[in-house]
């Protein structure tokens, strides 16, 4: 009876993960989707705590489990509340690393117990969980260090080959444990653990800052796969479903981000893309080129009397926390009969969906958001493009400078609009560390200042006109 109720709990948990994930795909339902999945997880956890009956023993270590849950819940919820939106990728890295560590620890604990039964599928899932979980843990910790500026990019010549050799040795040792007649499985298991941790470090260390989100998404997918291995090991459906969903969602996101940044997945896997070369990109523009500035009153005037304005939000908008005042500007222009839309680049900001989340927080209608391709079709018929703290995602070097590190990345082709107003605080480059020719084009004008201050003043000017 108890086992049947537990199975129903797991079924509810699994369904809630799927429904929650579906709801996460739309900003209007995303918050609820998160709650639905969290509720499903709570049902699965409490079902296990109160209904699970181990085959040959009683449920023990209850105090340890509940104690760890309380500590984890307090740390998780306090840090999630405190974290700034711009530091979210760092937090995702840490949480993801903890997931990988848990999956690896399960494999380590179970190796001594289950591996003795010599069932190759069990040993395989233990090894896969340990290898993938360890890579995900050490890689995520390095990713956290790099995103928070504590660790710099590091690489040495021949590193790609070295990484491949390490990976190969891990696989050979793993195969030896499964199929070989090893008298020292624990020693070999320890070697695989050490090499897997080293591989996670080696594969993330050389990757350049601008490419980190792809790696984080990939590591997230690894954690899901490692969890699915543990689910298979314990024949636990909810763990298996959760792991598969995280693994596949992470893999799909990785592929989409690779596409958005024109990177190859193969190169991500052997840790050989981006790199500090990003900062060494072609420094076109230079001191001999001039840019125009536009005054607040002129900017307010051209926008108020425009037919169509497209706003391009970027990382700077998030830094300035200017999303609410940006929505105010949109409302004020719309009242004057201007059509206002937002063009969202898939990697604008510092994490996938960053801009969508920010704008949804400010109640901007989802219908007004244009994705890359539809936005590029609309720029030619747009009077004014207002760029708010975006840089790399509108950099034409991605299209016309083969020596640029962002060459090939699809960009928002804002230069097609009649006029482009760029708001930022200075002429400093964006995340990729490269100069932006857009700022020097004849239809571009710079509007310097903090995005929030500038927007507030623009609204005041528009009201006065």
Residues found near ligand TAP in the complex (CB under 6 A): 210, 212-213, 261, 314-316, 319-320, 347-352, 354, 389-393, 423-426, 428, 430-432, 450-451
Q: Indicate the residue among 178 and 384 with the shorter CB distance to ligand TAP.
A: 384
Q: Least CB distance from residue 393 to ligand TAP, whole Å?
A: 4
Q: How far is the CB of 448 from ligand TAP (least distance, A)?
A: 8
CB of 426 to ligand TAP, least distance (A): 4
CA-CA-CA-CA torsion sign (243, 169, 152, 434): negative
Query: Nearer Cβ to ligand TAP, position 141 or 322?
Result: 322
Q: Rounded to the nearest whole angstrom, what is the least distance from the CB of residue 284 to ligand TAP in the complex?
A: 16
Nearer to ligand TAP, 110 or 392 (CB): 392
d(Cα 105, Cα 39) in Å, to the nearest integer? Answer: 25
Other beta carbons within 10 angstroms of residue 276's beta carbon come to: 16
In angstroms, the CA 40 to CA 327 distance is: 35
Residue 392 among the catalytic residues: yes
Beta bridge partners of 445: 421
Alpha-helical (H) ranges within 321-396 are 323-335, 354-361, 372-378
Separation of alpha carbons 129 and 109, rounded Å: 12
In whole angstroms, the minimum distance from the beta carbon of 105 to ligand TAP comes to 29
Catalytic residue among 298, 363, 383, 392: 392
State which residue has the least CB distance to ligand TAP.
Answer: 430
Of 19 and 87, nearer to ligand TAP (C-beta) is: 87
Closest CA to 107 of 132, 140, 77: 132
Torsion of CA 331, 335, 337, 339, to 10 degrees: 10
Encoded tokens for 248:
């596949």
> Do 402 and 395 meet the contact criterion of CB atoms below 8 Å apart?
no
Nearer to ligand TAP, 244 or 412 (CB): 412
CB of 61 to ligand TAP, least distance (A): 40
How far apart CA 264 and CA 178 sit, in angstroms, is 32
Q: How many CA atoms lie within 13 A of 90 on its CB side?
A: 16
**CA 269/CA 376 separation, integer angstroms:** 31
Number of H helices, E strands in the chain: 17, 6
Q: Which residues are catalytic?
A: 392
């Amino acid at each position: 009876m108890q086992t049947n109720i537990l199975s129903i709990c797991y079924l509810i948990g699994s369904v809630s993960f799927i429904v929650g994930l579906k709801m996460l795909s739309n900003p209007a339902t995303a918050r609820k989707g998160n709650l639905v999945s969290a509720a499903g997880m709570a049902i699965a956890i409490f079902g296990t705590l109160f209904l699970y009956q181990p085959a040959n023993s009683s449920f023990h270590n209850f105090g340890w489990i509940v104690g760890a849950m309380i500590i984890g819940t307090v740390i998780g919820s306090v840090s999630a509340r405190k974290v700034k939106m711009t530091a979210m990728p760092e937090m995702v890295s840490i949480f993801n690393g903890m997931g990988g560590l848990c999956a690896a620890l399960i494999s380590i604990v179970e190796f001594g117990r289950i591996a003795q039964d010599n069932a190759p599928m069990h040993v395989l899932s233990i090894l896969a969980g340990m290898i993938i979980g360890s890579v995900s843990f050490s890689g995520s910790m390095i990713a956290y260090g790099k995103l928070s500026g504590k660790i710099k990019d590091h690489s040495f010549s021949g590193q790609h080959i070295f990484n491949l050799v390490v990976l190969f040795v891990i696989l050979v040792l793993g195969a030896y444990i499964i199929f070989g007649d090893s008298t020292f499985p624990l020693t070999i298991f320890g070697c695989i653990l050490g090499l897997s941790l080293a591989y996670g470090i080696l594969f993330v260390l050389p990757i350049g800052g601008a490419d980190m989100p792809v790696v984080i998404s990939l590591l997230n997918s690894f954690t899901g796969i490692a969890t699915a291995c543990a689910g298979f090991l314990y024949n636990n459906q909810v763990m298996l479903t959760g792991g598969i969903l995280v693994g596949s969602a992470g893999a799909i996101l990785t592929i989409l981000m690779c596409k958005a940044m024109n990177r190859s997945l193969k190169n991500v896997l052997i840790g050989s893309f981006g790199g500090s070369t990003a900062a060494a990109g072609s420094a076109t523009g230079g001191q001999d080129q001039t840019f125009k500035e536009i005054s607040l009153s002129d900017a307010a005037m051209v926008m108020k009397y425009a037919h169509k304005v497209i706003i391009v939000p970027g990382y700077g908008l998030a830094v300035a926390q200017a999303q609410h005042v940006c929505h105010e500007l949109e409302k004020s222009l719309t009242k004057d009969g201007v059509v206002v839309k937002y063009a969202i680049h898939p990697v604008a900001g510092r994490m996938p969906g960053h801009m969508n989340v920010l704008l949804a927080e400010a109640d901007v209608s989802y219908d007004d958001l244009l994705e890359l391709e539809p936005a590029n079709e609309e720029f030619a018929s747009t009077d004014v493009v207002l760029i708010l703290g975006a840089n790399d995602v509108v950099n034409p070097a991605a299209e016309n400078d083969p020596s640029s590190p962002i060459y090939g990345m699809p960009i928002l082709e804002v230069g097609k609009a009649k006029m482009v107003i760029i708001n930022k605080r200075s002429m400093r480059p964006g995340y990729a560390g490269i100069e932006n020719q857009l700022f020097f084009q004849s239809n571009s004008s710079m509007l310097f200042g903090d995005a929030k201050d500038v927007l507030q003043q623009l609204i005041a000017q528009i009201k006065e006109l």
